[in-house]
Structure 1
Amino acid sequence: MKTWTTTAGTATTQASAIAQKAKNMVLNRYASPLTNFLGWFSIGLGLTQLLAPRQTCEAIGVGNHSTLMRTLGLREMSAGAGILMAEKPSYWLWSRVAGDAMDLSLLGVSLKDGGGRDPSRTAWASAAVAGIAALDLYAAVRQMGEERI
């Protein structure tokens, strides 16, 4: 039978190495904390849109457009993965900005055509997307500046 003995110093070093590996798996070392947050936000939102499209449509007050919602979810997840894995995540942040413009356009069409089930929910969803769009734009510009250094 083989026994393992470790000193406190060795155990601490090993724990630190494991923690660093875990951090590298979930955070992009080339990205700011805001950029990493937006990457994980994209993945979470995309999973929600992909796995619960009908409920997502209901939550934002639009008709049941499950196929479109799943497609938007895939777009979100790919942007999030790109942000978390790319050496230059600003390109993927710009894809989020473009996606926000698309989302605002779709929400606007829903409001204009009266195709939504609950216009007040759609208006609130539009305000939330506009807020995220501003944050995405800020993060993209800031990240580009950091990448040029």
Structure 2
Amino acid sequence: MAFKYGSDSSLSGSDALVRGIGLFALGLGVAELVSPGRFTKMFGLEGKENLVRAYGLREIGSGIGTLSINPTPALWARTAGDVLDLATVALGTRSGNQEQKRNAWLGIGAAAGFAALDAFAATMMAKRGGERPPPADYSDRSGLPKGVEASRGYYQQKPERGPAVAQHDARKDKVHSSDTATGSKRRSASDPARTETDAGQAPIPAGMSVS
């Protein structure tokens, strides 16, 4: 099964919603599969741990389908699964434990909300034809107001391109800098009284006036 989401994907709002649903389904499925007793105790469904495990496997399967190229069938399957979850959690409302009964009513509301959300996402994807469109192509756009060619600068005039030119010029600049520094040291050694400044002018000794 091919997956759409990758480093080069450009997600629209509906794509992001569908991905969130798929990731949530995977997380919920793993939790139900690993710790079914926590759910049965919370909603007053003791003794139905195997049923919760089966629901966990269903959630993992629907989550994988939701993250696939065509998530529409998996989203409709999740909608039906949410209705089944709602009916199962409703059994907890008959519990004599007030906390479990309250949790069961909250679970019913949550299941109804997820069913509506899954149905909404499935409807959006169906209107788009099911499969997600290819990633957006921005190759014809440029953030440089003068164009790409104007940004090449010095290397625009060279027949070569790439790192080799930059490395060659870097070596030339390094040799030139070394020769300049060596020449300055030699001039300073031959004439200690005269040291050139950056402006090319020797400093004036203290106490000497300039006419």
What's the TM-score bracket when you normalise by the shorter of the two chains?
0.7 to 0.9
Structure having greater relative contact order (Cα 8 Å, sep ≥ 6): 1
The answer to whether the 8 Å contact 2:72/2:122 transfers is: yes
- Aligned residue among 39, 50, 58 for 1:75: 58
* 2:186 corresponds to: none
Query: By how many angstroms is 1:93 displaced?
Result: 0.2
Q: Distance in 2 between matches of 1:116 and 1:93?
A: 35
* 2:22 corresponds to: 39
SS at match of 1:62: coil
Say whether 1:126 aligns with 2:108.
yes
TM-score when normalising by structure 2:
0.52
Task: Mark the CA change 1:97 to 1:54 in structure 2 (over 3 Å): closer, same or farther.
Answer: same
Amino acid at match of 1:76: E
- Give me the identity figure in percent: 30
1:42-53, aligned counterparts within 5 Å?
42-53=25-36
Query: By how many angstroms is 1:138 displaced?
Result: 0.6
Q: Distance in 1 between matches of 2:30 and 2:42?
A: 15
1:108-127, aligned counterparts within 5 Å?
108-111=90-93, 114-115=94-95, 117=97, 118-127=100-109
Q: Over residues 49-82 of structure 1, what are the superposed CA-to-partner deviations in whole Å (9 max), with x where a residue is unaligned?
A: 0000001222233324110000000000000011
**Which 5+ residue runs of structure 2 have no aligned equivalent?**
134-211
Q: Over residues 63-121 of structure 1, what are the superposed CA-to-partner deviations in whole Å (9 max), with x where a residue is unaligned?
A: 24110000000000000011112x2111100000010111111122343xx25752111
* 1:18 corresponds to: none
Q: Distance in 1 between matches of 2:90 and 2:96?
A: 10
- Aligned residue among 93, 97, 104 for 2:86: 104
Q: Distance in 1 between matches of 2:44 and 2:122?
A: 29
Aligned residues: 123
Higher helix share: 1
Structure 1 runs of 4+ with >3 Å offset: none
- Aligned residue among 104, 108, 123 for 1:141: 123
- Aligned residue among 73, 77, 83 for 1:95: 77
Amino acid at match of 1:108: A
**Which 5+ residue runs of structure 1 have no aligned equivalent?**
1-22
Please, what is the CA RMSD of the aligned residues? 2.5
The answer to whether the 8 Å contact 1:50/1:69 transfers is: yes
Amino acid at match of 1:79: S
TM-score when normalising by structure 1:
0.73
The answer to whether the 8 Å contact 1:58/1:64 transfers is: no
Larger radius of gyration: 2
SS at match of 1:70: helix
